[in-house]
Chain A
Amino acid sequence: MFTHLFYTLRNFGLPVSMNEWQDLMEALEEGMAGSSLTGFYYLCRAILVKTEAHYDRFDLAFASFFKDVDTPEGLPEKIWEWLDKQLPALEATEDMKRRHRNLDLDELKRMLEERMAQQKGEHHGGNRWIGTGGTSPFGHSGYHPGGYRLGGTSQQLSAVKVAGMRRFQEFRTDETLGVRQFQLALRKLRQFTTRLEGEKTELDLNSTIDQTSKNAGRLELVWERPRQNSIKVLLLMDSGGSMTIYSRLCNQLFTAVNHSHHFKDLKIFFFHNCIYDHLYHGPECSRLECTDTEYILNTYAQDYRLIIVGDASMSPYELLEVGGIIDWHQFNDTPGLEWLKRLRHRFEYSVWLNPINKKYWDYSSGTFTIKVIRQLFPMEELTLEGLEAAVNKLKTRQATAI
């Protein structure tokens, strides 16, 4: 039944699985769609869609599947008015159930059309016509096993109309989809402490047994500090103009890092195209909120894992020249490359993540600067695989080329 709808949903990118599909079938058996298309719409959505980011796809798929129903020749407004009128529920007989159980949607649509042609006026009750009572599967508060009904919408809008309104477009960021995978990759960035600080809250079973035996059986509990991740992360993100097209990807990474609570410390700074005297606290790179790069070089411990995210694409002078900084009202005494070298020497565990597809590193407008920076930092693509590779590299000191 309804398999065509299943494939329509999947074609629109909804990851509907057989589990949920079966749940939907069960719910339909129970008559939970209330036999109105509106009820059917909300039932499908509640069971099949698991994130608001997919609500819009669902609306598109639903509207497309039922599009012929919504055309003027399909279902006139009047029908929906009839459907939304409530009548007391009917007791369903076994016979009725048997007859309607295996009704499939195409069949339903065909019958609907047929009846549309025959329909002469408003109608309640009986078992042939479209109406709100009776045993027609098209009614809304009439027969469905148990008279079980889920209300229509208050605005009296048809499901297809509601779907067509695409109210959830703004959630269609697809933003969160990669976050979990990034997070899972980041989890591997762990190194357990030698337990020097913190409260002793974990029972050390082996030592307890040892001590108790030494004590001639008199219990002596030995406590240990819980294992802790000692990894500290310093994340520097390029928020320059050319990065705008990658902002979604960068946001995903940012969210993933930000929500990875297993790091001992996490510091995030932003820069514009290249790193110079200052690192900024926000992506807008405002001079009012920044920290001297020098200060970071001098005070952050050398074992911070340095992750730089940027397209490494800029004009050569931005990287190589004194005064090459792109912001016209600023000036740098030290070329950007020099700053990058200092960072690289200070933080031996470091990687550069580049959102540009690796294939284009040698052919893009930023090829020259990418090449120079790659000699300095191990560079990986900002993809799931790239991040995994980067995490592996961050576990060991990376040899410096220069």
Chain B
Amino acid sequence: MAKKMLQYQGSSDYIVSDEMRNSVNIAMALGKPLLIKGEPGTGKTVLAQSIANALNKKLIVWNIKSTTKAQDGLYLYDTVQRLYDSQFGDGDVGNIKQYIQLGKLGEAFMAKEQLVLLIDEIDKADMEFPNDLLWELDQMSFYIPETRETITAHTRPIVIITSNAEKELPDAFLRRCIFHYIEFPSPETMEKIIRVHHPELEKKLMDQAMETFYVLRNITNIQKKPSTSELIDWLQALVVGGITPKDIKQEMPFLGVLLKKNEDLDQVLEQVYERQVNKKDKSINKTLSRFYR
């Protein structure tokens, strides 16, 4: 019997490459989490939204921070509240259930219909974090000892996991994922992405801005290369500022929108204009930004 498979074809607000679409479909068909890596601002996070939109499914987002524990995603047991309630006679202390609050993963498992679960920036958490989730992601179930309950997913959610490669992820975890690296968009693709966000944009302005953008990206020694999201913001600034295509080439206005690091601004100004910037003032900033991270 041929399985009727769900297929993701992209959505109107998200430009997806063939390769990425393949990876999404492979992950869905095999019921495995899809791990997405790529430069910041290349659309890792919004991919999950696009999949949810395209397949008409609900999206649950679990944002990972450095303090997030795997347990947080399963459930929280509010012992303290229960203790207080037992002292002051409030609530039905016998009913442990009311002190159990499901986390994002638990929520996704409990859903009646299949949904998309985004685990965003998994590399932010502790190194063991991904390993602590192996069983739950594999089995799509977990046990709550307090209530002697097993939470099992009704339908396996479509799991999208993003990483900015701040940490290497454990092998055991990787083995269970489908992996996709988002290549930086080619100018042709970039044009399509820009059209999504600025449909009315004047072609000349866009061409000139894109040219400048790719030149900047190719300057070596830049620490934080400008990415899709910066380009979109920059175009917005150019439009609002009433900048003409000619101005872009000559003045590079609002460069700070594209280059977020002072060092990079200096670098570019020096290389492009061969202009000596006043280093004395900048050096203080540089020192600060290095040491107070």
Contact = CB atoms under 8 A, between A and B. Distances in A.
Interface of A: 15, 17, 19-20, 23, 26-27, 30, 32, 39, 42-43, 46-47, 49-52, 55, 91-92, 145-148, 150-154, 167-168, 171, 176-177, 179-180, 183-184, 187, 203, 218-219, 221, 259, 261, 267, 281-282, 288-289
Given A27-B26, A42-B22, A282-B290, A19 B175 contact: yes
A154 B183 CA distance: 15
A281 B168 contact: no
B90 interface: no
Contacts of B183: 167
Contact of A47 (B4, B26, B165): B26
Given A42-B22, A46-B23, A51 B3 contact: no
A50 B2 contact: no
B272 interface: no
Interface of B: 2-5, 17-19, 21-23, 25-27, 29-30, 32, 35, 37, 66, 79-80, 83-84, 86-87, 127, 165-168, 170-171, 174-181, 183, 279-280, 283, 286-287, 290-291
Contact of A180 (B79, B168, B283): B168
28 contacts: A19-B176, A23-B30, A27-B26, A27-B29, A30-B29, A32-B25, A32-B29, A47-B30, A47-B178, A49-B179, A50-B174, A50-B175, A50-B177, A52-B181, A148-B5, A153-B18, A176-B165, A177-B168, A179-B168, A180-B127, A183-B127, A183-B167, A219-B83, A259-B166, A261-B66, A281-B290, A281-B291, A288-B279
A277 to B, nearest CB: 17
A155 to B, nearest CB: 9
Nearest to B290: A281
Contacts of A145: 2
Contacts of A153: 18-19
B3 A148 contact: yes
Contact of A26 (B19, B30, B178): B30
A55 B165 contact: no
Nearest to A148: B5
Given A50-B174, A146-B3, A148-B5, A42 B19 contact: yes
Contact of A219 (B25, B87, B178): B87
A51 B178 CA distance: 10
Contacts of A47: 26, 30, 178
A186 B92 CA distance: 47
A99 B126 CA distance: 49
B167 A146 contact: no
A293 to B, nearest CB: 16
B30 A27 contact: yes
B2 A147 contact: yes
A47 B3 CA distance: 20
Given A203-B80, A259-B166, A288-B279, 6 more contacts: A30-B29, A42-B23, A91-B2, A219-B83, A261-B66, A288-B280
Given A153-B19, A219-B87, A32 B26 contact: yes
B180 A46 contact: yes
Contacts of A179: 167-168
B175 A17 contact: yes
A104 B75 CA distance: 47
A30 B18 contact: no
